[in-house]
Structure 1
Amino acid sequence: MSLHTQQINFQVGSHGTVSGLVQSPADPVACYVFAHGAGAGMGHSFMSAVSAGLAARGVATLRYQFPSMEQGKKRPDPPPVAHAAVRAAVAQAVERFGPLPLFAGGKSFGGRMTSQAQALDPLPGVKGLVFVGFPLHPAGTPSTGRADHLADVHVPMLFVQGTRDELADLASIRGVVSKLGAPATLMEIAEADHAFHVLRRSGRNDEEVLAEILDGMAAWMRV
């Protein structure tokens, strides 16, 4: 498959310029604005693999750096800054992909910041959110307070969650999705942790898990 890749830069209000990477098949059916997690930037191997895998399935991606990551800081941006970055990235996607169905979300922290931005003020053009490991609570302390704002999200949501995710107790995330009702879909990845690694005893490997994730995400965004 022919794949177009473009390095971009864009301004995040008064918080500086950040870099991004657009990957698209020749004839995409949708675009996913893909934010990174708290500990690793858009160039992380998982981010790269998801982006390439979605492109192979017809979905373009626009991944980008949060300002703190762009500036080499160790601590993630506070929510208002992260929200501004999400909005700026979505605007870039709208500019580049026009009328295509547009989705937003991200890995862990990136997905949560995207959902907060959407809850505060709907992201223009975004028809759904996709969370790749929503960080429901700190490790070892199951709770659901981080999901309270999701009641104010009024577009479809897909939660891709490993059943061994230490940041999203399985019973808790099931409860959250059930409470959200029809707009929310939970895709459980058996035996996967927060990084979507699986134990050897599961009978599967990480490549098979990634293929399951990509197939599910692409199918959901094609509906």
Structure 2
Amino acid sequence: MTDRAVRIDFTGAADAAGSPAADSAGLVGGVGSVAGLFSRPDGAWATLVVAHGAGTGMEHPFLAGFCSAVQAQGVATLRFDFPYREAGRKFPDRPPVAIATWRAAYEFARARAVEAGAPDEPIWASGKSFGGRMASMAVAEGLPAAGLAFLGYPLHPPGRPEKARDEHLPDVAAPMLFLQGRNDPFAAPNEQLDDLVARLRAGGSTVGLEWIDDANHSFEIKGRKRTAHDIGASLAASVVTFMRANAPA
């Protein structure tokens, strides 16, 4: 399917504390809106909102391939850029700005579902690395996503397992799926993520974990020549299967 270019504005954006994330000029992260790419297949039964990683934007072939394959299974998709990409900056936005952006993207997706006559359609959140982590922080702070799918969760900085970025995850009530490469330096040693998932499950969370042997943080596998588009597409089936298994009753 062809994605439609859209604009996502920050009307009503607020940070977790309830005060506006926007500045005095009404801008969030220095911009009034961000670019998005939206596609809704006929008969869509869910929407998946997808955020990019820290070093790429929404048009990266990995996300394009992933979203195309998700759409082929009857799921609408919305990709978007964070404000720092919109403004041409190098460094990612701070969490309050990123979370406000996630809220705006979610509300955009919800409005499109209502327009399509599906006001109760589940809206899921997904993201590559930074984008997925910011999605989980938004959900922990109240974003009513139906579930989360992490495309390589950045559990800690490479080589710094003691700096775990997981303190908010017990506050996520929605189902979570981790897709992770065994050779991902953001999740080494692998046992650290295994233990986290076990703790979350013990606390009552619905959590899926799928390790991809020999894959790195970009899900590339040494010795296998695949395009980023194909790599992204290869992850779609696992995500859609998890979405179906955890669809609201």
| Fold shared per TM-score above 0.5 | yes
Aligned partner of 2:53 in structure 1 is 37
Q: 1:36 to 1:133 in 2, by over 3 A?
A: same
Q: 1:214 to 1:64 in 2, by over 3 A?
A: same
Q: Residue 143 of structure 2 is aligned with which of 111, 120, 123?
A: 123
Q: Residue 113 of structure 1 is aligned with which of 119, 134, 155?
A: 134
Contact map agreement 2:128 2:153 (CA 8 A) in 1:
yes
Please state which structure has a larger fraction of its residues in helix. Answer: 1
Q: Return the alpha-carbon distance in structure 2 between the equivalents of residues 65 and 209 of structure 1.
A: 21
Residue ranges of structure 2 left out of the alignment (5+ in a row): 14-26, 114-118
Q: Return the alpha-carbon distance in structure 1 between the equivalents of residues 185 and 214 of structure 2.
A: 12
Q: Return the alpha-carbon distance in structure 2 between the equivalents of residues 205 and 179 of structure 1.
A: 36
Larger gyration radius, structure 1 or structure 2: 2
User: Counterparts in 2 of 1:8-47, with a 5 A limit?
Assistant: 8-12=6-10, 13=13, 14-15=27-28, 16-47=32-63
Percent identity reads: 41
- Following superposition, the deviation at residue 105 of structure 1 comes to 2.3
Aligned partner of 2:103 in structure 1 is 87
Q: Name the SS of the counterpart of 1:148 in structure 2.
A: coil
- Following superposition, the deviation at residue 209 of structure 1 comes to 5.3
Q: Return the alpha-carbon distance in structure 1 between the equivalents of residues 44 and 213 of structure 2.
A: 29
Aligned partner of 1:60 in structure 2 is 76
Aligned partner of 2:19 in structure 1 is none
Contact map agreement 1:107 1:131 (CA 8 A) in 2:
yes
Q: Name the SS of the counterpart of 2:235 in structure 1.
A: helix
Q: Residue 197 of structure 2 is aligned with which of 168, 177, 195?
A: 177
Q: Hey, which bits of structure 1, 4+ residues long, moved more than 3 A?
A: 204-212
Q: 1:20 to 1:59 in 2, by over 3 A?
A: same
- Following superposition, the deviation at residue 5 of structure 1 comes to 2.4
RMSD: 1.6
Q: Return the alpha-carbon distance in structure 2 between the equivalents of residues 70 and 179 of structure 1.
A: 37
Contact map agreement 1:23 1:52 (CA 8 A) in 2:
no
1:28-56 Cα offsets, whole Å, 9 max, x none, are 12111101111111011101111111111
The one-letter amino acid of 1:76's match is: P
Q: Return the alpha-carbon distance in structure 2 between the equivalents of residues 211 and 82 of structure 1.
A: 25
The one-letter amino acid of 1:180's match is: L
The one-letter amino acid of 1:9's match is: R
Q: Return the alpha-carbon distance in structure 2 between the equivalents of residues 60 and 74 of structure 1.
A: 29
Please state which structure has a larger fraction of its residues in strand. Answer: 1
Residue ranges of structure 1 left out of the alignment (5+ in a row): none
Q: Return the alpha-carbon distance in structure 2 between the equivalents of residues 148 and 206 of structure 1.
A: 35
Q: Name the SS of the counterpart of 2:155 in structure 1.
A: coil
How high is the TM-score relative to the length of structure 2? 0.82
Q: Return the alpha-carbon distance in structure 1 between the equivalents of residues 51 and 149 of structure 2.
A: 10
Q: Name the SS of the counterpart of 1:198 in structure 2.
A: coil
Aligned partner of 2:171 in structure 1 is 152
- The answer to whether 1:140 aligns with 2:159 is yes
- Following superposition, the deviation at residue 77 of structure 1 comes to 0.3
How high is the TM-score relative to the length of structure 1? 0.91
Greater relative CO, 1 or 2 (CA 8 Å, sep 6+): 2
Q: Name the SS of the counterpart of 1:146 in structure 2.
A: coil
Q: Return the alpha-carbon distance in structure 2 between the equivalents of residues 59 and 90 of structure 1.
A: 15
Aligned partner of 1:192 in structure 2 is 215
Q: Name the SS of the counterpart of 1:160 in structure 2.
A: strand
Q: Return the alpha-carbon distance in structure 2 between the equivalents of residues 21 and 118 of structure 1.
A: 22
